[in-house]
Structure 1
């Protein structure tokens, strides 16, 4: 009896253990998942390691020393760096689109000297250009257009952007009565403008290089992408934070340096001495700033003033060529137009830097702007706005030099 009872008791004990086993395993699995979830929870400022403490007015929603996989996935989650990442990531794709658009819609111009025109035809074209203000008295445009097309089979391949330049000028030359004419006259006028644009475009254009403009676009894209990557990955480890911050500094220096390439080159392209002087100076200053940012010794607190002075000096170095441009081309509306854009760009950058330095508005209400609306996010938006304003100025420079070349300089 004792043996049988003991066996029965053992069986009951084994059954109870088997019944409880899945529950135990299940609880263990839930515990691991819970621990993983807690481990990657957002933390408060006071829980951060020293190298991640930057803004004491942002109190919570920090990522701290997460694995790289979790860091990359956090681009789609909400934390206090989410908008810092996306404001410049969207800006990067904006400038990538603008670069593709510019390459397709603002192509290289045609060099008239490379076209083998008969001397008689050149004389006719120059006469046509001279009588442009009196279009109603011009010769048979369709006949002359036919002669051009037979002589220059590639005339229809002129960039549409270039023809747009000429057609834009024609609007100021045509009689005012055409603006109030009927639909038939409007169609005839449109056809006449197209013919005249095709004929005059080679004379109006100059082979202006595009590399300074694309250098600026490249610098802007590098800066925006480096900044976005820095804000996304810096929470991984101290080493990665060190690398990302230097990449971010290099991006800022690249944006500032290349921003001066279009205004300096297109303003002084006909004055090689000043063009090379200004371009060389800003390039050397940019390289020096990047090197300073890469050296570990200059990351010490005592060199903070040196770093800030270099970035400030880079920005202020643009005042000299802009003033010089205004002195040389005070009579050119394009000089005032581009300067207006450049002043607006400076205002955007200046306000952004002021907001970033003063940490407004989070310093007024700590913890209220942790997710959205803090100073760094506002700074990012203003940087994109300033760079886009400079892009618009670059288009004005291209149009000006395409049409004018070095005439009047």
Structure 2
């Protein structure tokens, strides 16, 4: 009786404050805290009211242990939590795979060399390579490499390390030309030798280009996805924690957009340092400015939803300039066209996600019908993961392109 009287008194107090107690909430209070009920939009405090078209199944100011356990229960944030949490683990796996397998050079591939190369007079090839070097451009920069050839190539298992695949192509072109001036080798063997130098020996000469832009993107993607998932899980705990989590979420979005620029800009303009530094500096400053703006308390208000979407969309749209610049420089390179196709697809995913987020489609058409599954924020999350995954494949192509061709 005392418990029922206390609940009735609280109901009256809430009614006077303009916040009716729902049946689920009432049962939760009568259950002495063992069950925390879901409430509807009208029962939320002002700081939790973000989407008026999601009508039910809200968690409201739950204790932290129950908030953490709610990741495994059904409410209107369940899929928001898991779409990006699963995305985080996908990108964690991709990061590990990339770090350990790209490039994947099989050290046993030398065993597949034709008998002609395995049984070749290595000292003769050494002399021919050393003779080729003076005919190559920028010979002064290659003197050290020439010394390596002369001093260290004593067996086929001890190969000197070169810094560019392009040098291997030049050497492969040089050797057959020199051998054709003698009667020792016929053209068919020379063609086979040239092919083997490029496709079999060359990977052992490769010193891969810098990977930091690609791993910066992967780190930005993981930070964004984990911050978003954490925000959706914990923001119902209290006003203060919601304030912190929302800013972390906005910072994650800005980090993803910013670091998405790093691979295409760095690998497209690595041979043009001025433009590379210009574009990287611009997007980094823009990303930091966006994060700083997102720290303002007014930025999280529902009426600024469209401004938030436009700001992040504008960050992504600024990538159009370096993409066009890349196409102008490398219009004859198929890799430039293919990577641009990936980037356009990524932009479509991100842009559509921003549009869905800003317009709150489809729940605005049928309020209450998409409370658990299918509402705009969940679609936005899926599109973000799809866009980031598309960009990952573009990054792999950039790595292969630059590893093979250098500048």
TM-score above 0.5, yes or no: yes
Residue 31 of structure 2 is matched in structure 1 by 34
Residue 99 of structure 1 is matched in structure 2 by 95
The alignment's C-alpha RMSD in Å is: 3.6
CA contact (8 A) 1:234 1:240 kept: yes
If the length of structure 2 is used for normalisation, what is the TM-score? 0.71
| Alpha-carbon distance in 2 for matches of 1:328, 1:50 | 53
Indicate yes or no: 2:355 matched with 1:350. no
Residue 68 of structure 1 is matched in structure 2 by 64
CA contact (8 A) 2:50 2:302 kept: no
Equivalences, count: 324
Indicate yes or no: 2:83 matched with 1:87. yes
| Alpha-carbon distance in 1 for matches of 2:272, 2:290 | 27
Which of 68, 73, 93 does residue 77 from structure 1 map onto? 73
Runs of 5+ unmatched residues, structure 2:
1-26, 106-121, 133-151, 169-193
Q: How does 1:199-218 map to 2 (within 5 A)?
A: 199-202=201-204, 205-218=206-219
Inter-CA distance 126–236: structure 2 relative to 1 (3 Å threshold): farther
| Greater C-alpha radius of gyration | 1
Inter-CA distance 125–359: structure 2 relative to 1 (3 Å threshold): farther
Residue 271 of structure 1 is matched in structure 2 by 272
Residue 223 of structure 1 is matched in structure 2 by 224
Structure number with the higher helix fraction is: 1
Indicate yes or no: 2:122 matched with 1:121. no
Indicate yes or no: 2:281 matched with 1:285. no
Q: Secondary structure at the match of 1:153?
A: coil
The CA deviation at 1:200 is 2.6
| Alpha-carbon distance in 2 for matches of 1:126, 1:340 | 43
Residue 332 of structure 1 is matched in structure 2 by 333
CA contact (8 A) 2:309 2:354 kept: no
Runs of 5+ unmatched residues, structure 1:
1-29, 110-116, 128-147, 167-191
CA contact (8 A) 2:246 2:300 kept: no
CA contact (8 A) 1:108 1:208 kept: no
Inter-CA distance 155–197: structure 2 relative to 1 (3 Å threshold): farther
The CA deviation at 1:197 is 3.4
| Alpha-carbon distance in 1 for matches of 2:403, 2:198 | 17
Inter-CA distance 210–316: structure 2 relative to 1 (3 Å threshold): same
Q: How does 1:385-400 map to 2 (within 5 A)?
A: 385-400=386-401
| Alpha-carbon distance in 2 for matches of 1:236, 1:350 | 31
Inter-CA distance 327–126: structure 2 relative to 1 (3 Å threshold): farther
| Alpha-carbon distance in 1 for matches of 2:40, 2:309 | 29
The CA deviation at 1:194 is 8.0
The CA deviation at 1:292 is 1.2
| Alpha-carbon distance in 1 for matches of 2:359, 2:304 | 20
Inter-CA distance 123–206: structure 2 relative to 1 (3 Å threshold): farther
| Alpha-carbon distance in 1 for matches of 2:296, 2:80 | 26
Q: Secondary structure at the match of 1:260?
A: helix
| Alpha-carbon distance in 2 for matches of 1:208, 1:48 | 53
Inter-CA distance 225–157: structure 2 relative to 1 (3 Å threshold): farther
CA contact (8 A) 1:352 1:378 kept: yes
